[in-house]
């Protein structure tokens, strides 16, 4: 298992005997849900089986299994039944493991869930221990199937994930849209479609082999069009549309990822106590609560700036003269005032009352109390000035 986790195998098979079929994952079946007390009991002829769970790559597994069974000389000929009982493959020579022999912790399930490898169980023949004289015939029965099965490694997509400088990115994630099963790019190792080169490789490998550097990936897919994305830690994701043809030969889909600023964002979030940063959407109207909080924050900042200005002013005055200045009666902000005409002047006549308009400007000083923040802090007085015009001609 550690060997499979270290090396990016893509396709695998374990060969067994005693049956003549191809089994594919999942081999584990979900337990049947509890039956309510009032529910009717199933009839005798109804099949009481656990709930089957298909893999996200169920169609790919069926393709791989059919490619082996159809090329076998006798595996798809199930009109005589199975080896030891009735045919469980629906005359195709393939079956899902959970439907046939449910078991937990199989190698096929482990390979699919924890590695990049798609592994199947191939049962070569009904005789688990064939006689020496039968080996030649067993080889002829399975030779073409084995070659066809190995050819499927070249079906799907492959490529390299690099950064903008051309350096390969190891352990990048390849995501295929619509299939909830991801694969990762490989690390430095020597691979030949599932064959491992033991020992160090000081010189370049021979022609049939290739050195799989970090950043290489392989993904078996059925023919079709797929939306594929590559993601890696510290990089922006990249998305492409890849086409898989019916002909043998994987489609080349390379990805170039650019650096992202997520590292700096995480540092800022750590400085902020790992609290989530609220995302401000441009053009989205603010709610009344958000508008109130923003107004309070702005007033709080203006108050702090005024306090800082007064501290600097007091410090400058204290350093210039040892005596405290007399208290000032002036307001801390300018406002306009209007001199009113004496009340002793003659009132306007009837003619001027209809034609002239008198305007009076009044300034009011209002003292309010505002909280430091919403529901927090100590209340502080705040003096504001409001100026309005009264038109007596209306």
pLDDT grade for 354, boundaries at 50, 70 and 90: very low
Mean pLDDT over each residue of the chain, to the nearest integer: 76
Lowest mean pLDDT, pick from 118-122, 244-248, 346-350 = 346-350
Average the pLDDT over 62-76 and give the result.
92
Domain layout of the chain by residue ranges: 2-31+50-154, 157-198+210-263, 282-314
Percent of the chain scored above 70 by pLDDT? 66
Which numeric CATH code is attached to 157-198+210-263? 2.60.40.1120
pLDDT grade for 356, boundaries at 50, 70 and 90: very low
Of 101, 90, 91, nearest to 18 by C-alpha is: 101
Who has greater pLDDT, 356 or 213? 213
Model pLDDT, residue 47: 46
Model pLDDT, residue 32: 52
Cα distance between residue 215 and residue 235, in whole Å = 14
> Cα dist. 230→156, 173, 210, 277 in Å?
16, 6, 23, 26
Cα distance between residue 121 and residue 163, in whole Å = 38
Measured between its terminal Cα atoms, the distance across the chain in Å is 93
pLDDT for residue 392 is more than 70? no
Average the pLDDT over 106-126 and give the result.
92
Architecture of the structural domain at 2-31+50-154: 3-Layer(aba) Sandwich (3.40)
Average the pLDDT over 307-324 and give the result.
78
pLDDT for residue 371 is more than 80? no
pTM: predicted TM-score of the whole model, two decimal places: 0.60
Of 52, 193, 59, 65, nearest to 120 by C-alpha is: 65
pLDDT grade for 79, boundaries at 50, 70 and 90: low
pLDDT grade for 265, boundaries at 50, 70 and 90: confident
What pLDDT digit, counting tens, does each position of 130-189 carry? 999 999 999 999 999 999 999 999 999 999 999 999 999 999 999 999 999 999 998 754
Contact 62, 70 (CB under 8 A): no
Model pLDDT, residue 145: 95
Cα distance between residue 172 and residue 178, in whole Å = 19
pLDDT grade for 50, boundaries at 50, 70 and 90: low
Q: Residue 186: exposed, middle, or buried by beta-carbon count in 10 A (0-12, 13-18, 19+)?
A: buried
Strands (E) across 245-379 are located at 251-252, 255-257, 359-370
- Sign of the Cα torsion 187, 192, 193, 194 reads negative
Of 214, 237, 217, 219, nearest to 166 by C-alpha is: 214
pLDDT for residue 262 is more than 50? yes
Model pLDDT, residue 3: 83
pLDDT for residue 376 is more than 50? no
Percent of the chain scored above 90 by pLDDT? 41
pLDDT for residue 370 is more than 50? no
Model pLDDT, residue 88: 78
Contact 148, 73 (CB under 8 A): no
> Which two tokens mark 203?
């010189």
Q: Residue 120: exposed, middle, or buried by beta-carbon count in 10 A (0-12, 13-18, 19+)?
A: buried
What single DSSP character describes residue 253? -
């Amino acid at each position: 298992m550690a060997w499979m986790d270290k090396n990016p195998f893509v396709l695998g098979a374990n060969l067994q005997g005693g049956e003549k079929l191809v089994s594919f994952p999942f081999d584990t079946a979900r337990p049947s849900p509890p039956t309510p007390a009032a529910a009717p009991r199933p009839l005798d002829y109804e099949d009481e089986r656990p709930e089957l769970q298909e893999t996200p790559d169920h169609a790919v597994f069926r393709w791989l299994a059919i490619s082996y069974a159809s090329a076998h000389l006798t595996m798809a000929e199930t009109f005589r039944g199975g080896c030891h009982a009735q045919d469980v493959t629906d005359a195709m020579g393939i079956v899902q493991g959970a439907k046939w022999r449910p078991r937990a912790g199989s190698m096929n399930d482990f390979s699919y869930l924890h590695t990049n490898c798609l592994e199947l169980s191939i049962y070569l023949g009904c005789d688990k221990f064939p006689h020496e004289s039968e080996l030649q015939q067993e080889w002829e029965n399975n030779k073409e199937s084995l070659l066809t099965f190995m050819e499927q490694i070249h079906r799907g997509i492959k490529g390299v994930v690099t950064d903008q400088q051309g350096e390969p990115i190891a352990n990048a994630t390849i995501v295929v849209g619509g299939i909830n099963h991801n694969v990762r790019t490989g690390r430095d190792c020597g691979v030949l479609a599932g064959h491992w080169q033991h020992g160090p490789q000081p010189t370049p490998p021979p022609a049939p082999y290739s050195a799989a550097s970090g950043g290489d990936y392989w993904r078996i897919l059925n023919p079709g069009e797929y939306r594929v994305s590559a993601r890696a830690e510290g990089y922006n994701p990249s998305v492409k549309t890849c086409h898989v043809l019916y002909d043998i030969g994987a489609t080349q889909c390379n990805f170039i990822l650019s650096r992202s600023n997520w590292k700096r964002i995480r540092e800022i979030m750590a400085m902020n106590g790992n609290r989530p940063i609220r995302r401000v959407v441009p053009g989205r109207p603010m709610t009344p609560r958000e508008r109130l909080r923003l107004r309070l924050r702005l007033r709080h900042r203006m108050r702090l700036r005024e306090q800082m200005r007064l501290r600097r002013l007091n410090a400058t005055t204290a350093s210039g003269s040892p005596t405290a200045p007399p208290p000032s009666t002036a307001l801390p902000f300018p406002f306009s005032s209007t001199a009113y005409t004496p009340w002793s002047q003659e009132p306007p006549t009837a003619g001027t009352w209809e034609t002239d308009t008198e305007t009076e400007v009044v300034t009011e000083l209002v003292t309010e109390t505002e909280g430091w923040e919403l529901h927090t802090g100590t209340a502080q007085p705040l003096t504001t000035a409001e100026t309005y015009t009264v038109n007596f001609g209306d």
